Amino acid sequence: MNLTSDCQVPLRRGTSSSVHGYWLLKFLRHLGNGISAVGVPLAFAVITCFLLCSWSVARAAGDVSCQDILRSIELHDGLLNTVDATYSLRHRFQIDREARLRAWKSQGIQVEKLGDWVPKDYDMHGRFVKDGMRLRREASKWEPGRSRADEFEDITTVYTGEVVRSLDSLHKSGAIQPAEDHRPMVLQELNPLHWGWSYGAQPLGEFLRQGQLAIEGEEILSGTDTIALHVSYPNKYYRVWIAPTRGYRFVRLEKYTLANDLVMRFSCELTEHNGLWICDSGTWEMFNLSGDGGPEVEQIVQMQCESVQVNEGIAPSTFELEFPPGTSVADHILNTGYRVGGLLTGGEQASNLKADELAQAIEEPHAAKPIDSKTPPQSFPEEARGGTKSVGTDDMVVVGLLAVGGFVVAGFILVWKKVRTRAGRPN
């Protein structure tokens, strides 16, 4: 930390430059005496230990910097208790369909079943609510150029930590499923927190800590001071730009292959809401790596928040979802199916159906997978995986052991030389 010129710090014994000079000269004098007394081996051991310790301290200092950043990120991760946001998404594909099919065919991929495959653009209006582990997501989709009255999808999903309930209002179908782990699939669907706060279903700090982390340097993006981080995984790496003045949220996140090909990018504009920085507008881009000669960017999603409430009370009823009369429900917990408030054709009670008989008609929450050259495009990159330790941990242990071993050897040599010297003196 740099002190200003008007800071006056009184010098105390052991901290002044003259005291430092005295001890340095004394150390050099003893080092010279040691070299003349015990020879080159001890001098070499002492110098080696000094260099190893210096390197260890330097590596430790770099690792501490990464850990400091991680701790700040995780601290801010924990400050978000509740969020209730309404937002819109504009999803557009920019794929040359015929070129893509030709590229897949040249790679030996069976494309006959994909002959009618056409990526589907859509506009979406959504609401995302999070209170601890409880989640609610509402998503209504329609084709570009049409009104919301022409919706082709209207799905509400509620996750309570104990059960997942979903309702497809357009098709009057519902599903009840067992609770998933602490990263439910509904959390992986695109929502405002994916810009700045998380990757996939992982909080930002957790995602970064699972990779091998290094600091690339400082950079200014759109007028915002950032720290550029490099996060390595076994088969990919990420570059993440953290803004310390924006609550240690990222303003850009990029994913690369090991061949340095850019796969996807998140970019966002952060605005302060109730003391926390939330993305008001952002862009997600998926880049074309198929080699088909098509556009460089093959998918783009633009997100715009309409309203955001952070760390404010949320009514418990928000996480309740009742199925309206006439809804066909597949209960995967009880392995049964029924129609709410009605009978099936032929007078048969809907409760006699099994859940898998209704599953085809029910669109359940799911996590989309990334685009690659062998599969049709989806809407969101894969969830980050990895398990490597943070940078420098093993190296510091090895260096520390070497340094300790060096000091032990040096001490042994010094004692042995003194014993031999005393043994050779006349009584």
Q: What is the pLDDT of residue 272?
A: 95
Cα→Cα distances 102→1, 106, 319, 405, 407, Å: 59, 6, 47, 63, 67
Instruction: Return the number of other C-beta atoms located less than 10 Å from residue 106's C-beta.
Output: 11
CA distance 27 to 25: 5
> How far apart, in whole angstroms, are the C-alpha atoms of residue 96 and residue 102?
10
For the record, the structure tokens of 244 come out as 């310390």
Q: Is residue 119 within 8 Å of residue 377, measured between CB atoms?
A: yes
Q: What does pLDDT average to in each consecutive run of 10 residues of the chain (427 residues)?
A: 30 39 56 55 57 52 72 95 96 88 83 74 96 94 83 92 94 92 81 93 94 94 94 96 96 96 96 95 94 88 96 94 95 93 49 45 34 36 34 46 59 60 54
**pTM listed for this prediction:** 0.67
pLDDT confidence of residue 100: 86
Give the list of residues 6+ apart from residue 99 with CB closer than 8 angstroms, or none: 292, 293, 294
Q: Which of 49, 47, 43 is nearest to 401 (CA)?
A: 49
Please give the CATH superfamily to which domain 69-361 belongs.
Answer: Lipoprotein localisation LolA/LolB/LppX (2.50.20.10)
